[in-house]
Amino acid sequence: MDQLVLASTSPRRQSLLRHMGVNFRVLTTHVEETFEPGTKPADIVESLAEQKARPVADIEKDHLVLAADTIVVLDGKILGKPETPATAEAMLRSLSGRSHDVYTGIALIHAQTNRSVTAHERTEVTISTLSDDEIRTYVRGGSPMDKAGAYGIQDDRGALFVSSIRGDYYTVMGLPLSLLYRLVKANFPDLTIF
């Protein structure tokens, strides 16, 4: 099997790849994530994924490099990772009892053969109505602090808050596996990643 290089320190993405039996290692570089105001969410996640993948691909020219980026969008506003517990609580209150969109972009680059592709998935998530006590308890546990939108669908408690999803569950976890598989098969058929 050819080795995949994951340009992400996300434990969720690493766990998903391991679960699929993918042989990979992690290498990241510091990237100042930027996008123009008014950019569509789909374009943002694809661009940010590529920004993360490109410098790693310049180092690992003979390996396929994968990067991903996830954002939560509510009423056209991007909810990133909360900076403080108070911000996390405010995000969860804004999501409570409502639906929002989760976008995850993927970038795959094989520098040696000058091939690259970006794509994204969008999934609609509905959160149950949450009490202030539920929100405070969840935030105190620390889980929301490293997640876009301040919740994790894979968390024990975070999973309890999600009343429905429309789309790919793995998009919400940060790595749409079906999309990844299709992109590798279509664009890198000579590489035996899966």
Q: Is the pLDDT of residue 2 over 80?
A: no
Q: What is the pLDDT of residue 21?
A: 92
In the prediction, which pLDDT does 1 show? 53
Average pLDDT over residues 75-80: 92
Instruction: Read off φ and ψ for residue 144, nearest 5 degrees.
Output: -70, -15
Give the active site residue among 43, 58, 62, 69.
69
For the chain, what is the HEC assignment? CCCEEECCCCHHHHHHHHHCCCCEEECCCCCCCCCCCCCCHHHHHHHHHHHHHHHHHHHCCCCEEEEEEEEEEECCEEECCCCCHHHHHHHHHHHCCCEEEEEEEEEEEEHHHCEEEEEEEEEEEEECCCCHHHHHHHHHCCHHHHCHHHCCCCCHHHHHHEEEEECCHHHHHCCCHHHHHHHHHHHCCCCCCC
Query: In this structure, are residues 28 and 72 in contact, taking their beta carbons and an 8 Å threshold?
Result: no
With cut-offs at 50, 70 and 90, classify the pLDDT of residue 66.
Answer: very high
Considering the entire predicted model, what is its pTM? Answer: 0.92
The position carrying tokens 């998530």 is 125
Task: Determine the Cα angle at 141 with ends 75 and 148, to 5°.
Answer: 30
User: Which one-letter amino acid corresponds to residue 14?
Assistant: Q
Instruction: Tell me: pLDDT of 180 over 90.
Output: yes
How far apart, in Å, are the Cα atoms of 89 and each of 21, 75, 144? 36, 18, 9
**Whole-number pLDDT of residue 170:** 96
Give the chain's domains with CATH numbers. 4-187 (3.90.950.10)
Classify strands 4-6 and 64-74 as parallel, antiparallel or unpaired.
parallel
**Is 69 marked active-site?**
yes
Q: How far apart are CA 183 and CA 163, in angstroms?
A: 30
User: For residue 156, is pLDDT > 80?
Assistant: no
**Which residues face 115 on adjacent strands?**
110
Q: Which pLDDT tens digit goes with each residue over 106-147?
A: 999 999 999 999 999 999 999 999 999 999 999 998 888 888
pLDDT exceeding 70 applies to what percent of the chain? Answer: 99
Task: Point out which residues pair with 100 in neighbouring strands.
Answer: 125
So what's the pLDDT on residue 13?
Answer: 95
